[in-house]
Amino acid sequence: MNTTTAGDADPTAGKTVFSILIAISVCHLLNDMMQSLLPAIYPMLKSSYGLDFGQIGLLTFTFQFTASVLQPMIGFYIDRKPKPYSLAIGMGFTLSGLVLLAFAHNYAVLLLAAALVGTGSSVFHPESSRVARMASGGQHGLAQSVFQVGGNAGAAIGPLLAAFVVLRYGQSSVAWFSLAALLGIFLLIHVGHWYKGHGLARMKSRTTKGAAHAALPRGKVRMAIAVLIALIFSKFFYMASMTSYYTFYLINQFHVSVQSAQVHLFVFLGAVAFGTIAGGSLGDRFGRKAVIWASILGVLPFTLLLPYANLFWTGVLSVPIGVILASAFPAIVVYAQELMPSRIGAVAGLFFGFAFGMAGIGAAVLGELADATGIQYVFHVCSFLPVIGLLAGFLPHLETESRHQRLPTVAVDMTGNVDAVPPRSAK
């Protein structure tokens, strides 16, 4: 099998453009912070509009389904016709949905607002993932983690802001967060300038020379993609139980206040953010497959214990669950991109879209299950989902896995860029 090493044929190696990585990470924070306001104010919406759990699940489904359907299509399109300023346009959709959410007066308008926010995500995620790879300097796992951790941090901050701002000042106060969207649009226009001037040249060079990957038979690639999709199902169905219903579980099971439940959700989502940044770096160091295997299956003991824990231990267990489970996604995305290196945008769109879709379907299904059986039963059922992680054993070994332990060292220049230094030859 033909392979290339980091720093050779991979044109993204050589310089890691941290200013761009930080910019898209900050925009991811702003984007997901705004998106997380919707599920964070579910208790308020449930009370104000007289919604049941099924209708709450349908709200999440609308947002997630819109994103999941459009993301692969957009990723496939931008692989062929890159649009440097599409990121700013996507943030504009999120801004529109946010303003509509603030002033919605009936359930139908809430659904429309959720759909607009989902449309913004469908543009933002695959294109930002593509930009992260452009700016990675060959450290693809680290770049994906820096990009994704912004989203996780935003998702963690959103419920906290909802607890102390929106729940205090009412639904219309959601409009205040439009300032965050305007900041995001400003930063993404700057990213678009770099994308147009430098990123496209990097991507064209990568297409010409070829990326570092193992030339696996098409059948093995399809099998690997199928396994990764099953793992995404496991991860995001469980995540749906936490992000959409963890607050309800805490309120129902332990009779805590809404604000206390939101703080517990913030702790869990903060752990998710930490796990995301750790997962990409560990994938660069030890290999994607090892991280995928450990993160998906390693969380099982903690998920099995959580339904039987008291309030204190529920909060404690939510931390390793968030850290371990979240470490998988950066490794999954980069592993899939190494399987199909000529389809970077399409792969990102497929996996982000499928992740959003599974989260949306999971929220809807689990909402109906909660209405029928109770919220406690939902968490008992979901505790077994990580068993699906056993499928990671069927993932093929990539030649790129063998080079993760000999990544190029780096030298920082005065501009903050990083120059790759070839690894020393083994004696």
pLDDT in tens, the chain (427 residues): 433 333 344 444 457 788 999 999 999 999 888 887 887 788 888 888 888 888 888 887 888 778 777 888 888 787 777 788 889 999 999 999 989 988 888 899 999 999 998 888 888 888 888 888 888 877 888 888 888 888 878 877 887 788 788 878 888 888 898 899 999 999 999 999 988 877 555 555 554 444 444 467 888 888 989 999 999 888 888 988 998 899 999 999 999 998 899 889 889 988 888 888 888 778 778 878 888 888 877 899 999 999 999 999 999 999 999 999 888 888 888 888 888 877 777 787 788 777 767 777 888 889 889 999 999 999 999 999 999 888 888 888 775 554 444 444 333 333 334 344 444 443 3
| Residue 203 confidence (pLDDT) | 55
Which residues lie below 8 Å from residue 258, measured CB to CB, with a gap of 6+?
A: 43, 44, 163, 167, 247, 251
Considering the segment(s) 15-406 as one domain, its CATH architecture is Up-down Bundle (1.20)
Q: How many C-beta atoms lie closer than 10 Å to residue 108's C-beta?
A: 9
pLDDT given for residue 400 in this prediction: 54
Distance in angstroms (rounded) separating the CA atoms of residues 286 and 187? 33
DSSP strand pairing (409-412 vs 418-421): antiparallel
The answer to whether residues 115 and 63 touch, using CB atoms and an 8 Å cutoff, is yes
Q: What is the Cα–Cα distance from 371 to 195, expressed in whole angstroms?
A: 47
Complete DSSP assignment for 22-78 = HHHHHHHHHHHHHHHHHHHTHHHHHHHHT--HHHHHHHHHHHHHHHHHHHHHHHHHH
Q: For the stretch 223-238, what's the b/e string if a residue is b when 16 or more beta carbons lie within 10 angstroms of its beta carbon?
A: ebbebbbbbbbbbbbb
Strands 15-16 and 409-412: unpaired
Please state, in angstroms and rounded to a whole number, the distance separating the CA atoms of residues 422 and 427: 15
Domain locations in the chain as residue ranges: 15-406
Q: Please report the pLDDT score of residue 93 as a whole number.
A: 93
For residue 13, give the nearest of 143, 150, 200 by alpha carbon: 143
152-188 pLDDT, tens digit per residue, is 788 778 877 887 888 788 888 888 988 999 999 999 9
